[in-house]
Amino acid sequence: MAEGAKDFLNKPFEQAEALNRIYNILDVRLMHNKIRDHNKELEGKVQERTRDIEETRLDVIRRLGRAAEYKDNETGFHVIRMSKYCEQLALKAGMSPEKVSVILNASPMHDVGKIGIPDAVLLKPGKLDADEWEIMKSHSIIGGEILSEGDSDLMRMAQTVALTHHENYDGSGYPNGLAGEEIPVEGRITAICDVFDALLSDRPYKKAWTFDEAVGFMREQSGIKFDPELLELFLGITDKIMEIKERWSDK
């Protein structure tokens, strides 16, 4: 029995006892299999539910993004492009595949707070005055609030991205003037990808810059606006970035 037998019989067998023992052992075995199958089934159901929840979260967050696009002047495929740049940069930076996929889905939310900015400011054709600029800057805080108290990695990262995508590496950004590694890495990644795509895009107030002009500006801002290490990584994958840019061109 120490070697794993469940039971034994002494010879000579007594027929009734032998049969009883065999029935009992089979009974235990069948019960065991039943429990195992039941557990497997439950596990499958839990996985299915988890997938449903993930999909619902994604769906909700995408719809929120679409709602924001109705107000924002940064329409077109900007959010798709910048989120795909974020994915590439996060991969390059060695993030886990799970985290990479979260940043891909969370980064399109970076400007969701613009929902809360009055049209007179958001859509003003000319330059903003100081007060208007303060209102405009509050989109980061509003976005953080809209996305606050989420109970998933996706929602938490979306909140972080909304709140920190205008922080600068040297501490001169907003809303909290965080510097260096105080800025969560997803915020530093988003800042690079968001600005780069904005530079290469036509906006009501400016024409699209050329690739060289954009790269020149990014380099100038290394250590000022942008995390120098992440920026180097980003500038090392511009082939991929430009492929995405072409693939999701607004034209």
Which residues are catalytically annotated? 114
Interatomic CA distance for residues 241 and 91, integer angstroms: 13
What tokens were used for 77? 């495929």
What tokens were used for 161? 């991205």
Please identify which residue in the block is written with the tokens 């100038």: 220
Cis omega before residue 175 (within 30°)? yes
Residue whose CB is less far from Fe ion, 79 or 230: 79
CB of 80 to Fe ion, least distance (A): 11
Residue whose CB is less far from Fe ion, 100 or 143: 143
**What is the maximum alpha-carbon separation in the chain?**
104
CB of 239 to Fe ion, least distance (A): 22
User: 8 with 1: CB under 8 angstroms?
Assistant: yes
Residue whose CB is less far from Fe ion, 5 or 242: 242
Interatomic CA distance for residues 117 and 183, integer angstroms: 24
CB of 56 to Fe ion, least distance (A): 25
Positions touching Fe ion (CB under 5 A) are 74, 111, 194
CB of 94 to Fe ion, least distance (A): 25
Residue whose CB is less far from Fe ion, 34 or 66: 66
Task: Give how far Cα 1 sits from Cα of 9, 14, 29, Å.
Answer: 12, 20, 16
